[in-house]
Amino acid sequence: MELLTTTIRNEADVVTVRQRARQLAAMLGFDTQDQTRISTAVSEVARNAQAYAGGGKARFGLNLDGEHPLFSVEISDQGPGIPNLQSILDGQYVSSTGMGIGLMGVRRLMDDFAIDTGPKGTKLRLVKHLPRHVRPPSPREIGALVGRLAQESGPRIEDELYQQNQEILRNLEELRRRQEDLRSLNAELEETNRGVVALYAELEDKAEQLRRAHELKTRFMSHIGHEFRTPVNAILALARMLLDRMDGPLTEEQERQVGFIQKAAGDLGGLVDDLLDLARVEAGKTPLEIAPVAIEELFGTLRGIIKPLLRGDAVALHVDPAPPGLEMTTDESKLSQILRNFLSNAVKFTEKGEIRLSLSLDGGQVIFTVRDSGIGIPEENLETVFEEFSQVRNPLQRQAKGTGLGLSLSRKLAALLGGEVWAESRLGEGSAFHLRLPLHHPSIPPVQAEEEEETHPAVPAPALDEAPILIVDDDPAARYVLRQILLAENRVVAEAGSADEAREWLDQRPPCLIFLDLVMGTGIDGFQFLAELKRNAATAAIPVIVCTSQSLDDSDLQRLTAATAILPKKDVRRDTVAGLLQTIFPKGAAS
Amino acid sequence: MERIPILRLRDCLLVTIQVDMHDQLALTLQDDLTELIVRHQARGVLIDISALEIVDSFIGRMLSNIAAMARILDAVTVVVGMRPAVAITLVELGLEMPGVRTALNVDAGMRLIERALEEERQAGHGRSKG
């Protein structure tokens, strides 16, 4: 019959088991001496189980069946077993913990002792005969006895404390591990961070390279544009001279040929201008001139420009009347350029029907629409038409001469003005191009500085009739054009291909006027030469007309304030040159 | 952590074990005692085990160890109040406690310590008291 089972986990449990053994022995009628023997023996065995096997179970039992009633204690564990049991029992083994003595002593303290040990555990059975003169307890008494013990063996405070301690230790260990995790995670994050920083630097690098490549492209375009413009201007000017009959009459056929030359050169010039505009917008060098713009007037102007382009009566141009008095605040020339592009595009690709320019207001924004009944654009090309040099293949394409730059430039200009462009189209039915702009450009309109060249006071005429007009330009064609015009105006002309040559003229025969090109192949450029002229007291008074095919931005103009006038090469015509001479030498006297 | 209290009585340390000690507690007592012997320059250690109902091999060995360590630290150890049943069991268990002097009660124990120290003084060795 089993009386009680107790678990042995720790040292405190060893104490409990031996106390239970003592209490049970007392209840079963053992005398004090036997109680001490039994509990001492149980203590030894229980300690072994706890110390060597990490714990076990103690089972107390009572056997009333045999001749002698027996009190038995069975202590079992799942430890590694007792390897040298025989030598222990023979008394040869000496343990530092007193184990040898323990087992041998236990044998002496109890009436019977059985041990079963193996690699899977050890089981010890201790038996003590109940005292002979004592009546063995009845089952009822035993039941009450066990019940009493069970009540006593509720959780003890030490047990709870022990549990709590274990828990705290576990928690501390957990905490330590988490901190460790956190630390390693942090380290990992740091590593990642370094990687990100490195990547970022690389990206920055790449962006810088891209920026540089883009800048290079823009510079190249600007340069090429300029290089193109110079000969184109020369061709135009020469053609004009021929048509003006400055060198004698032309036959009818010659006149037609020169007319074609002029037309072709004009187209080429337009292309170069577009290219240069695009380059300037991309370089961010396009200054905005924000001012009030009267839309009605603008529409009128546009109609005037586009009307002559229409071929015959097959295509009609409608300009819807703008709301009277509508005024926008934006850059008029750029707005006009965008709409001109839309309109001339529509003209190119419309054979019959109509082209309509209309306007609608949408909150604080204005939407301009140019709608045509032309060939249309396939849907997949609606976006690409805004890309540079893209043209859609179509029958009219071959007839129409486009640069492929107009729409791209329009998009960039629109962005510059804080707006956008887009297109919609149905193939064969027509297209609509839209421009959306804020009614009032968000930037504060810059104060308009009066152009120096416009207001430059006329210089008193130098009394140097015999003094020549010096043309400084490295391009012989440009010099030739100018010379011919000046000769026609009865002026004495000197020419220099570089600043050095010009200096010689200044020494030998100081001129009364200098036409100065800005970009020259050799030596210092026009900017520097102009500065040099103005620094030198002997030459400071000579008026200088800057004659260039370069597009000038604000910073360029800033460096040219010392010039008397600026004459774009494309405007080099007899009338403009004569006008300038008239302004500078008011007498108008020919030499 | 629970501890067995150790009292100082003149140049003696007095330990009364009132509870059934588990092994760790016994080891702690051993450490505490050696520490206090040095700190208080104690000459005698009196351990009262009259409340103990059992002394098994571990506790017996612990008492033995305390006596040996105290001896090295120049102190005399006396265990007093051992119950007869415990004494018998110890003998049956085959446990010897070399170096552990015993007395029946605290009074006898104190006298034993005094006498032992007196003998030492007469023999001319041991610490001179300052």
Q: What is the ipTM of this complex?
A: 0.83
pLDDT band at B30 (very low <50, low <70, confident <90, very high): very high
pLDDT at A224: 77
The one-letter amino acid at A52: Y
User: Where on the phi/psi map is residue B3: left (φ > 0), alpha (ψ -120 to 50), or beta?
Assistant: beta
- Give CA–CA dist A499/A473, Å, rounded: 9
Six-digit token string for A149: 């013990």
The strand ranges marked E within A270-379 are 290-294, 315-319, 327-331, 353-362, 365-372
Q: What's the pLDDT at A418?
A: 86
Give Cα B38 to chain centroid, integer Å: 15
Residue of B25, B30, B89 to mutate for A, most A C-beta atoms under 10 A: B89
Using the 8-state DSSP alphabet, how is residue A251 labeled? -
Residue spans in chain A of domains classed CATH 3.30.565.10: 2-155, 289-438
Q: What is the mean pLDDT of residues A370-384?
A: 82
Q: What is the mean pLDDT of residues B52-59?
A: 89
H or E segment to which residue A123 belongs: strand A121-129
Cα–Cα separations (whole angstroms), residue A210 to A182, A206, A217, A502, A509: 41, 6, 10, 42, 52
Q: In this model, does residue A445 exceed pLDDT 50?
A: no
The average pLDDT across A146-155 equals 67
Residue A466's Cβ-count burial label (10 Å; 0-12, 13-18, 19+) is exposed
Nearest-neighbour CA in chain A from B105: distance (Å)? 20
Contact B116, B64 (CB under 8 A): no
Ramachandran angles phi, psi of A544, nearest 5°: -125, 125
Write the burial class of residue A131 (CB in 10 Å: 0-12 exposed, 13-18 middle, 19+ buried). middle
CB interface of B with A, residues 66-85, below 8 Å: 83-85
* Of residues A314 and A180, more confidently modeled: A180
Residue A97 has pLDDT above 90, yes or no: no
Hey, what CATH class is A195-279 in?
mainly alpha
Asked if A358 contacts A366 with a C-beta cutoff of 8 angstroms, the reply is no
For residue A512, pLDDT over 80 is answered with yes
State the pLDDT at residue A389.
64
- Over residues A294-318, mean pLDDT: 83
Supply the pTM of this predicted model.
0.41
Q: How far is CA A318 from CA A303, A306, B21, in A?
A: 8, 11, 114
Residue A209 has pLDDT above 70, yes or no: yes
Residue A104 contacts B where some CB pair is shorter than 8 Å? yes
Q: In chain A, whose CA is at the least distance from the CA of B89?
A: A37
How many angstroms separate the CA atoms of A275 and A277, rounded?
Answer: 5
β-strand pairing of A430-438 with A420-426: antiparallel
Residue A148 confidence (pLDDT): 75
B96 in A contact zone (CB under 8 Å): no
Q: Are A44 and A106 in contact (CB under 8 A)?
A: yes
Biggest CA–CA distance in chain B, Å, is: 45
B98 touches chain A (CB under 8 A): no
Q: For residue A195, give the amino acid letter.
A: G
CATH class of A2-155: alpha beta
Lookup result for tokens 């043309």: A471
Architecture of domain A469-590: 3-Layer(aba) Sandwich (3.40)
Closest by Cβ to B57, choosing from A19, A37, A105: A105
B56:A33 CB<8 A: no
Averaged pLDDT score across all residues of chain B: 88
Instruction: Read off the pLDDT of each residue in A355-377 and give the average, rounded to a whole number.
Output: 87
Q: Which CATH class is domain B6-123?
A: alpha beta
Strands A565-568 and A290-294: unpaired
**What pLDDT is attached to residue B76?**
92
**What are A243-264's pLDDT values in tens digits?**
888 888 888 888 888 888 888 8
CATH top class, domain A289-438: alpha beta
The predicted pLDDT at position A392 comes to 58
How many other CB atoms are found less than 10 A from the CB of residue A444?
A: 7
As a whole number, mean pLDDT of residues A387-414 equals 66
Tell me the two tokens of residue A525. 């450029």
Cα separation, B44 vs B112, whole angstroms: 10
Q: Assign A588 a pLDDT band (cuts: 50, 70, 90).
A: very low
Q: What is the pLDDT of residue A404?
A: 66
Test B95 with A109 for CB contact under 8 angstroms.
Answer: no
